[in-house]
Structure 1
Amino acid sequence: MQRYFLDEPYRPQERYVLEGEAYHHMARVMRMAAKDHVYLAFNDQIAIVAEITEMTEKEVFLIEVAKESVQKELPCNITIASGYPKGDKLDWIVQKGTELGAHAFVGFPAAASVVKWDAKKRKKRQERLAKIAQEAAEQSHRQVVPQVTLMETEKEFYASLTSYDVLLIAYEESAKQGEAANLVKILQSVMPGTRILAVFGPEGGLSAKEVAYFEEQGGILCGLGPRILRTETAPLYLLSAASFQLELQASQEK
């Protein structure tokens, strides 16, 4: 069943009306008709099953059939912050990270980042990544679409750190030294709704100066297993570990 995201909170209505891109996809791409069912996902993490009752030349009308009962979002809001990597690696991180439950994505120019985008290129890239996140959220039946933010300067990124409750720094030197406890401790102790920012360096990793600054801001250095992971692999490792601890393991303990 297809899923469509609405940028508004849920409220019961006699009928829902969709137009624009959603209408085009239903009518022209999927060739839907009356009696077909879809998911409508609202921006407050409520989703419903809706039935098409009528389609006109510009609008599709639907009625609510049932609410989606299964929770699809991680209990904690994990934002993935990536120092700008080369090529299309950020596309991969956003697509797969969305499938694995990331709440949001932030890109920033780290010391080792080679990529340099002016305002026009950054805006265009952000729009592309937002589209990738939406498509991945639809495919994986998420209840929200992760927000993607690309920052102009590292200073701008630093200013955003106070918006989070927990600051995790994936640091390869910690992995080399065998650090294996910090991520586990955090995931075992966080409460639902905790805002976690997980920071990853680009190719070449984070510099000692960057790591020192994060530590000054309360950042917790963590290794991600005994192997050194690529910049596009490390966020997926962390999200998978979070899903295991916060969803699979937690369900077994109930």
Structure 2
Amino acid sequence: MQRYFVANEQMSDKHVTINSDDAAHITKVMRMQPGDTIVCINQEQRALLCVLESVTLNEVTASIKEELFANTELPISVTIAQGLPKGDKLDFIVQKGTELGAVGFLPFSAARSIVKWDAKKGAKKRERLEKIAKESAEQSYRLMVPTIFTSSSSKQLTELINTFTACVVLAEEKAKANETSAFATQLQELSPGDSLLVIVGPEGGITNEELEEFERAGAKSCGLGPRILRTETASLAALAAISYHYELMR
């Protein structure tokens, strides 16, 4: 069943109003008619089964039939801080990371990032990533759309570490040294409702200087096994491990 995210003000006690691109999607792409059903989710993660009443290209109205209570979010809030990668890799990371449960993506310019964003390019890229996150959240039955943060520097990222319950840095050297316990230990120390920042370097990895700065700020470096993962794979492996730990290993 099609799902659409709406602002709180678009949802009343009895009706939901959908406009702009989503209204056009319902009308032109899905070719829905009055009487068809959809699921609408507001910014407070309230999911409702709705029946379409009127359908136009610019606005769709639906009556609320019942409230849905399935929780599809990870027990902890995971934000991915991703060193700017080349090409369209960040699109892939956001799309798949959203499916795996991340609540936010924070691109940062690492010392070894080849890609550089100016304000104009960053704003345009962020808008594209927000659209990707929204579509992926709808497809994967999420109750929220992950936040795409404004790109930052490594120094700015360091200053954000203590705003999370915990922070881990996925470090290549730890994988080479066959370190396998730090990540699991960190997950065991977290409780539902806590927040975790996962820092991933770009293609060239994180420099020793960056790693030292992150660790001084409270981050813990760790590996994800003996293999060396590409930058577009690392955060997804971490999210899959988090899902296994909190959702499947029961």
2:169 corresponds to: 169
- Residues 173-212 of structure 1: matches in 2 within 5 Å? 173-212=173-212
Return the alpha-carbon distance in structure 2 between the equivalents of residues 126 and 14 of structure 1: 34
- Residues 37-186 of structure 1: matches in 2 within 5 Å? 37-56=37-56, 58-186=58-186
Deviation at 1:69, TM superposition (A): 2.4
Q: For 1:4-61, what per-residue CA distance to the aligned partner results, in whole angstroms no more than 9, with x for missing partners?
A: 0013289751222222222111112211111111110111222111111223564222
Q: For 1:174-229, what per-residue CA distance to the aligned partner results, in whole angstroms no more than 9, with x for missing partners?
A: 11112111111122231111110000000111000001011101111111111000
Task: Name which of structure 1's ranges 182-191 and 79-88 shifts more when overlaid on structure 2.
Answer: 182-191
Q: Is the 8 A contact 2:23 2:56 kept in 1?
A: no
2:241 corresponds to: 241
**Secondary structure of residue in 2 paired with 1:101:** coil
Q: How many residue pairs get matched?
A: 250
Q: Percent identity?
A: 42
Task: Name which of structure 1's ranges 65-74 and 51-60 shifts more when overlaid on structure 2.
Answer: 51-60
- Structure 1 residue runs of 5 or longer lacking an equivalent are none
Letter paired with 2:97: G
Return the alpha-carbon distance in structure 2 between the equivalents of residues 57 and 23 of structure 1: 6
Moved over 6 A (4+): none
1:15 corresponds to: 15
Task: Name which of structure 1's ranges 63-72 and 224-233 shifts more when overlaid on structure 2.
Answer: 63-72
Q: Is the 8 A contact 1:151 1:157 kept in 2?
A: no
Letter paired with 1:200: V
Q: Is the 8 A contact 1:9 1:43 kept in 2?
A: no
Q: Is the 8 A contact 2:182 2:221 kept in 1?
A: yes
Deviation at 1:152, TM superposition (A): 4.2
- Structure 2 residue runs of 5 or longer lacking an equivalent are none
Q: Is the 8 A contact 1:10 1:44 kept in 2?
A: no
1:213 corresponds to: 213
Deviation at 1:154, TM superposition (A): 2.6
2:232 corresponds to: 232
Instruction: Report the TM-score, using the length of structure 2 for normalisation.
Output: 0.95
**Secondary structure of residue in 2 paired with 1:150:** coil
Letter paired with 1:132: I
Q: Is the 8 A contact 2:55 2:61 kept in 1?
A: yes
Task: Name which of structure 1's ranges 70-79 and 24-33 shifts more when overlaid on structure 2.
Answer: 24-33
Return the alpha-carbon distance in structure 2 between the equivalents of residues 99 and 17 of structure 1: 26
Q: For 1:75-134, what per-residue CA distance to the aligned partner results, in whole angstroms no more than 9, with x for missing partners?
A: 100000111111111111001000111110000000110111211111111111111111
Return the alpha-carbon distance in structure 2 between the equivalents of residues 150 and 57 of structure 1: 32
Letter paired with 2:226: P
